[in-house]
Structure 1
Amino acid sequence: MRDTPTGGLGRRSFLSAAAALGGASLVSACGGLKGTGGSSSDVLKIGYVSPQTGPLAGFATADNFVVQQIQQAVRGGFTSGGVKRRIEIVVKDTQSNPNRATEVTRQLINSDKVDLIVGSSTPDTTNPVADQCEANGIPNVTTIAPWEAWFHGRNGKPGEGFKYTTLFFFGMKEFADCFFPMWDRADVSSKNVAALWPNDTDANAFRQGLGPMMKKSGYTPVDGGAYQNGATDFTAQIAAFKESGADLFTCTPIPPDFQTFWKQARQQGFKPKLATVAKVMLFPSEAEALGGLAANIATDFWWSPAHPYKSALDGKSAKQLADDFAAATGKQWTQALGSVYSLFEIAIQAFKEASDPKDRDEVAAKLRGMKISCMSGDLDFTAGPQPGIALQHPVGGQWRKGDRFPWDVVIVDNSANKAVPVGGDLLPTNA
């Protein structure tokens, strides 16, 4: 098993990337190349866990860039507990596997001796990472997982939450606040909603949470059945959706399964007037993989260059971060860019607020009590819906043909977050 400190760069590329930072060495910043001993008193180690390979790898496209950005933002160090500190970041790849996520988190705790762990992207990562941190008393914050899947999927106690583990993202109500206004505006004759929900933690949270909300709002979910991830034939689901006459479509599959489903749906004549999808079509690579079939698919956008948010570390705007990413990598921004950046903002802020950043209980308490304005907006971990959870409010966007890149996002509905400007009209996915 190979884990490189920058999450996927080979050693030669890694050292080149470090040199490009102009003196902020990622070799010392990221750790993992200097043995496995504990960190010294002036060094604070942050472990980062994400799916850099496998079917969820699209979520980790910006990881290496973010690590470099964070190190550059704090290259002069910062004061915590009256002492000048610097950070090291140790990056681990889950390979899109929950068991692997558990394993690498244990490595961070037992071998790398990190002071805090952050993690990103779907309950397959966030839940096993958080479980290990909670069991071992390690401060932790994760993101990009519906809070219900993270909280209830880990048997959280309502009103109590967890001591060491926290999350920022959103849940079923916020999905409803994002999707339902678009459904209400769609010119549809049927309020049946075709729902492609597999049998996993993420989708079951939608089945149990969003489904009842749909009914209360006058929509009827047509559940295609709890299939297993990795399916290759969606004929049965497509037939059921066509028979129901559903004009609306929603889903929470893994990205490769959606690609398969969407192509088969077109071949078999299922063309919903509006598709509002979750967990998929979050990143440009997915739109590119579908080609023309990606046009006007809508999804939730919790971060984009249009969002009026700024870094708590150096004041950089969301647009600047997206532009810097494109300039450095030649790639298009992704939503995870802002989220992963904020994981480190929050971790560093918790260290700064603690009288002793090596006191895990104190740092964990700072995470649970944090209120911060950062790259992901205004986050309040005390506001709930449960202790230690900060909510974001996504807006609706659709994929359209782009100018600089093949596909780009147009924000079409800001009902849930008026601070984000609308950039175009809601159009039918299939006219």
Structure 2
Amino acid sequence: MSDTPTRGLDRRSFLKAAAALGGTSLVGACGGLKGAGSSSSDVLKIGYVSPQTGPLAGFAAADNFVVQQIQDALRNGFTAGGQKRRIEIVVKDTQSNPNRATEVTRQLINSDKVDLIVGSSTPDTTNPVADQCEANGIPNVTTIAPWEAWFNGRGGKDGEGFTYTTLFFFGMREFADCFIPMWERVDPSNKNVAALWPNDTDANAFRQGLGAMMKESGYTPVDGGAYQNGAADFTAQIATFKESRAELFTCTPIPPDFQTFWKQARQQGFRPKLATVAKVMLFPSEAEALGQLAANIATDFWWSPAHPYTSTLDGRSAKQLADDFAASTGKQWTQALGSVYSLFEIAVQAFKEASDPKDRDEVASKLRGMKIECMSGKLDFTAGPQPGIAIQHPVGGQWRKGEKFPWDVVIVDNTPNKDVPVGGDLLPTNQGD
């Protein structure tokens, strides 16, 4: 496989090349091009795995930009293990398929000979990537997957965690802390919550975890049933929700299914007073696809330009990173931008802290013991809820008509994280219906 520099590639060309090659080796910003498979001790290889194509591609919209930013920030190299090091990044596309995620991770380990692997976006990526890393003794950190789906879905042992694999994101407790304060503020006539939860790793974690927490807080989940992803008709679920007279709605579907459901819900007269959704409506492209139906849908925001966080690599603020992304691509920021950026911050920090960054056991130990304040805020991998997991605290935001772009996010509730300023009032999702 040949190496392909990122500079000068637009996203379409980049993805086309990546698909053709099964991945793209991105090098050169830290001291010149070097052939793939180099065993040079001054080169540290990071593999990056994400769903750049397929139904989860919205999560990876900022990937190409982030990789270039990391290369630029480290163009002069850095010191680790007593000598100057250069970074090489090898990117792989899962095509939104967990089996493909397993395959490309094996490629990174066996063919590309990477020193560390990072990965992002839903358990369909994080779990198979982490499983391969754990089995092969490769240091690994992933993000954007509920910790329960990542930990329990991989058979994690309580109090032990894993040796080589770590995660930063949040879980059911944090979803509850984000959503329930917003539910209370809209004062529903009853405490029934319509819940669209498919039969997959992500949604089953919500069904078991968030469902129980809802009951503890006096709310009653109205489960629409464990349907299969890719469903085309949600009439039965909508009828169940209407019969319950639920004025609150939550969900964890794949994005295309939510688009289908939400349009059918409007057509069939299900208009909840407040929709607080997970896994979907995280990115501007999804709001644009729904058009006016996107108005005042609320979701969890773990990163935005309003978050008061800065880079450990070049000192940029969250707002500066978002603005740079817009200036470079002409596109709107997405919250995955901050998360993917932090994967590389954490990887570089682990290399720096290790006496020998080529020692996989030592680097993995540095990941498990890491405390870092970075583009994703304060992350402590020692604090739990399980070893090797760092928790973020998302805040509530709603989609509103934008000025520069068609839709923008307004932070409307910061109950779980007072460091993030509120930018507007919480409005009913069905306002104007």
Q: Go from structure 1 to structure 2 and tell me whether the alpha carbon gap of 1:222 and 1:322 turns closer, same or farther (over 3 Å shift).
A: same
SS in 2 for 1:305: coil
In the aligned structure 1, how far is the partner of 2:114 from the partner of 2:184?
48
Q: Go from structure 1 to structure 2 and tell me whether the alpha carbon gap of 1:260 and 1:2 turns closer, same or farther (over 3 Å shift).
A: farther
Query: Alpha-carbon deviation of 1:385?
Result: 0.3
Question: Quick check: 1:4–1:11 contact (8 Å CA) kept in 2?
Answer: no
In the aligned structure 1, how far is the partner of 2:30 from the partner of 2:183?
45
Question: Quick check: 1:49–1:93 contact (8 Å CA) kept in 2?
Answer: yes
Q: Go from structure 1 to structure 2 and tell me whether the alpha carbon gap of 1:30 and 1:280 turns closer, same or farther (over 3 Å shift).
A: farther
Which residue number in structure 2 is paired with residue 114 of structure 1? 114
In the aligned structure 2, how far is the partner of 1:252 from the partner of 1:260?
13
Question: Quick check: 1:47–1:89 contact (8 Å CA) kept in 2?
Answer: yes
Which residue number in structure 1 is paired with residue 413 of structure 2? 413
In the aligned structure 2, how far is the partner of 1:115 from the partner of 1:216?
44
Question: Quick check: 1:325–1:331 contact (8 Å CA) kept in 2?
Answer: yes
In the aligned structure 2, how far is the partner of 1:10 from the partner of 1:419?
36
Which residue number in structure 2 is paired with residue 211 of structure 1? 211
Q: Go from structure 1 to structure 2 and tell me whether the alpha carbon gap of 1:319 and 1:11 turns closer, same or farther (over 3 Å shift).
A: closer
Query: Alpha-carbon deviation of 1:319?
Result: 0.1
Q: Deviations over 1:122-177 (max 9, x none)?
A: 00000000000000000000000000000000000010000000000000000000
Question: Quick check: 2:411–2:424 contact (8 Å CA) kept in 1?
Answer: yes
Question: Quick check: 2:119–2:125 contact (8 Å CA) kept in 1?
Answer: yes
Q: Counterparts of 1:78-227 in structure 2 under 5 Å?
A: 78-227=78-227
Which residue number in structure 2 is paired with residue 300 of structure 1? 300
Q: Deviations over 1:321-374 (max 9, x none)?
A: 000000000000000000000000000000000000000000000000000000
Query: Alpha-carbon deviation of 1:188?
Result: 1.2
Question: Quick check: 2:29–2:75 contact (8 Å CA) kept in 1?
Answer: no
Question: Quick check: 1:179–1:276 contact (8 Å CA) kept in 2?
Answer: yes
In the aligned structure 2, how far is the partner of 1:407 from the partner of 1:278?
18
Q: Deviations over 1:250-286 (max 9, x none)?
A: 0000000000000000000000000000000000000
Query: Alpha-carbon deviation of 1:39?
Result: 3.2
Which residue number in structure 2 is paired with residue 402 of structure 1? 402
Question: Quick check: 2:50–2:94 contact (8 Å CA) kept in 1?
Answer: yes
Which residue number in structure 2 is paired with residue 356 of structure 1? 356
Which residue number in structure 2 is paired with residue 60 of structure 1? 60
Code of the residue aligned with 1:122 in structure 2: it is T
Are residue 428 (structure 1) and residue 416 (structure 2) matched? no
Question: Quick check: 1:7–1:92 contact (8 Å CA) kept in 2?
Answer: no
Q: Go from structure 1 to structure 2 and tell me whether the alpha carbon gap of 1:102 and 1:37 turns closer, same or farther (over 3 Å shift).
A: same
In the aligned structure 2, how far is the partner of 1:159 from the partner of 1:38?
38
Greater alpha carbon shift after TM alignment, 260-269 vs 33-42? 33-42
Query: Alpha-carbon deviation of 1:37?
Result: 2.4
Which residue number in structure 1 is paired with residue 268 of structure 2? 268
Q: Go from structure 1 to structure 2 and tell me whether the alpha carbon gap of 1:165 and 1:295 turns closer, same or farther (over 3 Å shift).
A: same
Q: Go from structure 1 to structure 2 and tell me whether the alpha carbon gap of 1:3 and 1:233 turns closer, same or farther (over 3 Å shift).
A: farther
Query: Alpha-carbon deviation of 1:187?
Result: 2.7
Q: Go from structure 1 to structure 2 and tell me whether the alpha carbon gap of 1:7 and 1:57 turns closer, same or farther (over 3 Å shift).
A: farther
Which residue number in structure 2 is paired with residue 22 of structure 1? none
In the aligned structure 2, how far is the partner of 1:40 from the partner of 1:300?
43
In the aligned structure 2, how far is the partner of 1:265 from the partner of 1:154?
34
In the aligned structure 2, how far is the partner of 1:399 from the partner of 1:286?
10
SS in 2 for 1:158: coil
Q: Go from structure 1 to structure 2 and tell me whether the alpha carbon gap of 1:10 and 1:428 turns closer, same or farther (over 3 Å shift).
A: closer
Q: Go from structure 1 to structure 2 and tell me whether the alpha carbon gap of 1:78 and 1:166 turns closer, same or farther (over 3 Å shift).
A: same
Which residue number in structure 2 is paired with residue 41 of structure 1? 41
SS in 2 for 1:249: strand
Q: Go from structure 1 to structure 2 and tell me whether the alpha carbon gap of 1:295 and 1:11 turns closer, same or farther (over 3 Å shift).
A: closer
**Following TM superposition, where does structure 1 have runs of at least 4 consecutive aligned residues deviating by more than 4 angstroms?**
1-14, 33-36
Which residue number in structure 1 is paired with residue 19 of structure 2? none
Q: Deviations over 1:85-135 (max 9, x none)?
A: 010000000000000000000000000000000000000000000000000
In the aligned structure 1, how far is the partner of 2:240 from the partner of 2:139?
46
Code of the residue aligned with 2:127 in structure 1: it is N
In the aligned structure 2, how far is the partner of 1:329 from the partner of 1:188?
42
In the aligned structure 1, how far is the partner of 2:204 from the partner of 2:8?
31
Tell me how large the CA RMSD over aligned residues is. Answer: 2.1
In the aligned structure 1, how far is the partner of 2:99 from the partner of 2:234?
27
In the aligned structure 2, how far is the partner of 1:34 from the partner of 1:324?
28
In the aligned structure 2, how far is the partner of 1:12 from the partner of 1:306?
29
Q: Go from structure 1 to structure 2 and tell me whether the alpha carbon gap of 1:27 and 1:195 turns closer, same or farther (over 3 Å shift).
A: same
Code of the residue aligned with 2:192 in structure 1: it is N
Number of positions where the alignment pairs a residue of Structure 1 with one of Structure 2: 420
Code of the residue aligned with 2:49 in structure 1: it is V
SS in 1 for 2:280: coil
SS in 1 for 2:28: helix
Q: Deviations over 1:202-224 (max 9, x none)?
A: 00000000001000100000000
Q: Go from structure 1 to structure 2 and tell me whether the alpha carbon gap of 1:336 and 1:141 turns closer, same or farther (over 3 Å shift).
A: same
SS in 2 for 1:28: coil
Question: Quick check: 1:30–1:91 contact (8 Å CA) kept in 2?
Answer: no
In the aligned structure 2, how far is the partner of 1:354 from the partner of 1:152?
29
TM-score w.r.t. the length of structure 2 is 0.94
Code of the residue aligned with 2:193 in structure 1: it is V
Question: Quick check: 2:29–2:74 contact (8 Å CA) kept in 1?
Answer: no
SS in 2 for 1:117: strand
In the aligned structure 2, how far is the partner of 1:394 from the partner of 1:165?
23
In the aligned structure 1, how far is the partner of 2:117 from the partner of 2:415?
34
In the aligned structure 1, how far is the partner of 2:171 from the partner of 2:223?
19
Code of the residue aligned with 2:80 in structure 1: it is S
